[in-house]
């Protein structure tokens, strides 16, 4: 099923198939950018209805750590000044023995915008205005009232560049991350707690989900490569197991 995004209009549907999924072009009404989106896979586009909690009862609880510059250094870096932080872009890879010419392979540029989050009922909804994304990224465990943890079934990484998250609201948030490797396992994931006084840039190829805010609502600035290549994992499909992310630091 193709998802329509807030604030953008559809301009063309491609009739052919790309990896067995229809492709859709979208044009931003405000930034005059064009996005190509498929229903094949992007993190945040899997189902999160409550029945799945009973269909897939297995849960892997991810460890939660307070982020420090030392324990975070393999995953990314702290960002104090959002405006001055440059997105790490990865040069297009060469196919053979001839090198990519200097000054080329990085022309995709950077997409930038607000990243808004809101808890509604038992789900977390996220809107990434930088790339035209509108997602559900988690659901609370069954009958949980005090929101001490959240379940997710997805993560993805961007081989084309890093991604910056910087809190406008300056409130605590949590990032779910894992180091690069395609044979990802549940035990590879770790959650980092940030107190909201700074932002972060996660490195290219780092598995992640969008931010999990502690408060009911949160607004971040984000920037990332416009190529926006996504490699994804669905832990329900691959492991029959949810990732459970603690939302309370003990």
SS3 per residue for 37-53? EECCCCCCCCCCCCHHH
Q: Are residues 14 and 48 in the same domain?
A: no
> In degrees to the nearest 10, what's the CA dihedral of 232, 233, 234, 235?
-160
pLDDT in tens, the chain (250 residues): 333 333 333 333 333 333 333 333 333 333 444 444 434 445 567 899 999 999 999 999 999 999 999 999 999 999 999 999 999 999 998 899 999 998 899 888 999 999 999 999 899 999 999 998 899 999 999 888 889 999 999 999 999 999 999 999 999 999 999 999 999 999 999 999 999 999 999 999 999 999 999 999 999 999 999 998 999 999 999 999 999 999 999 8
How many domains does the structure of the chain reveal? 2
Q: Are residues 84 and 184 in the same domain?
A: yes
Q: Are residues 30 and 54 in the same domain?
A: no
Q: Are residues 140 and 231 in the same domain?
A: yes
**For residue 156, what pLDDT is reported?**
96
Q: Are residues 211 and 183 in the same domain?
A: yes
Q: Are residues 67 and 29 in the same domain?
A: no
Domain around 21: 1-40
Q: Are residues 14 and 110 in the same domain?
A: no
Please, which residues have CB within 8 angstroms of residue 223's CB and are 6 or more apart in sequence?
85, 87, 110, 111, 112, 113, 130, 163, 164
Q: Are residues 176 and 202 in the same domain?
A: yes
Q: Are residues 60 and 171 in the same domain?
A: yes
CATH number of the domain encompassing residue 51:
2.60.120.480
Q: What is the DSSP secondary structure assignment for residue 55, as one 8-state letter?
A: H
**For residue 106, what pLDDT is reported?**
87
Distance CA 151, CA 237 (A): 15
Q: Are residues 30 and 119 in the same domain?
A: no
pTM of the model: 0.82
Q: Are residues 20 and 106 in the same domain?
A: no
Q: Are residues 8 and 86 in the same domain?
A: no
């Amino acid at each position: 099923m193709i998802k329509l995004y807030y604030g953008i209009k559809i301009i063309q549907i491609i009739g052919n198939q790309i990896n067995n999924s229809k492709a859709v072009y979208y044009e931003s009404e405000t930034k005059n950018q064009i996005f190509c989106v498929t229903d094949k896979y992007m993190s945040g586009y899997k189902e999160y209805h409550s029945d799945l909690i009973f269909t897939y009862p297995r849960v892997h609880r991810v460890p939660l750590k307070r982020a420090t510059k030392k324990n975070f250094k393999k995953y990314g870096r702290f960002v104090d000044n959002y405006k001055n932080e440059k997105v790490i872009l990865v040069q297009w890879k060469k196919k053979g023995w001839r090198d990519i010419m200097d000054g080329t392979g990085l022309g995709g540029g950077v997409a930038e915008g607000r990243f808004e989050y809101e808890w509604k009922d038992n789900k977390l909804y996220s809107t990434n205005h930088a790339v035209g994304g509108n997602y559900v990224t988690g659901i609370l465990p069954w009958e949980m009232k005090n929101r001490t943890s959240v379940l997710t079934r997805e993560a993805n990484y961007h081989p084309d560049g890093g991604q910056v998250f910087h809190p406008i609201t300056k409130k605590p948030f949590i990032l779910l991350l894992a180091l690069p490797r395609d044979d990802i396992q549940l035990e590879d994931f770790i959650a980092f707690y940030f107190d909201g006084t700074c932002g972060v840039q996660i490195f290219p190829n780092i598995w992640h989900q969008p931010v999990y805010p502690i408060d009911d609502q949160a607004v971040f600035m984000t920037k990332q490569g416009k190529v926006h290549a996504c490699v994804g994992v669905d832990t329900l499909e691959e492991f029959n197991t949810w990732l459970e992310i603690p939302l309370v630091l003990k």
